[in-house]
Amino acid sequence: MNTLPELSNDAVIDVAREGGFAWIPKLSGPRRITLAQLSDPQRKHVCEVLRQAMPLGEPPGEQSRAGYGDRRYFRIEISYATAQQVGNIVLLVPEDQAPPALVQLWQEGQ
């Protein structure tokens, strides 16, 4: 999927860093971002970061390039509801291809 649906205040975004040689929970640093809790500029920023990451990500699966060997990746899960549909998107973005704004979103949660 290369396009981000229109996200309303009901959307929840989970971002975590996974993979690597050894799984260390503290290094995964999962972040949950609820759009309803953000200001309008913050919501726009989060949506723009997600739009940047969408073309770089791929769904989880056996052919995924993210997470093989000792490579880390960002797991982005977007739960949303629009007037037309309710959905859930899961993307894996290899850490070495992640835009700096995605890394910042993971680190700061906004």
User: What domain count does the chain have?
Assistant: 1
Q: What is the rounded distance in angstroms from the CA atom of residue 69 to the CA atom of residue 31?
A: 24
pLDDT single digits (tens) 10-20: 899 999 988 76
Q: What's this model's pTM, rounded to 2 decimal places?
A: 0.82
Is residue 7 assigned to a domain?
Answer: no
Helix 40-53 with 100-108: angle, nearest 10 deg: 130
Measured in residues, the chain has a length of 110
Residue pair 31/106 in contact (Cβ under 8 Å)? The answer is yes
Q: How far apart are the first and last CA of the chain?
A: 23
Q: Which residue range(s) make up the domain with 58?
A: 12-108
Q: Which residue has the tokens 């949506």?
A: 47
pLDDT single digits (tens) 62-82: 555 555 556 888 999 999 887
pLDDT at 28 over 80: no
Residue 109, sorted as left (phi over 0), alpha (psi -120 to 50) or beta, turns out to be left
Is residue 37 assigned to a domain?
Answer: yes
Is residue 97 assigned to a domain?
Answer: yes
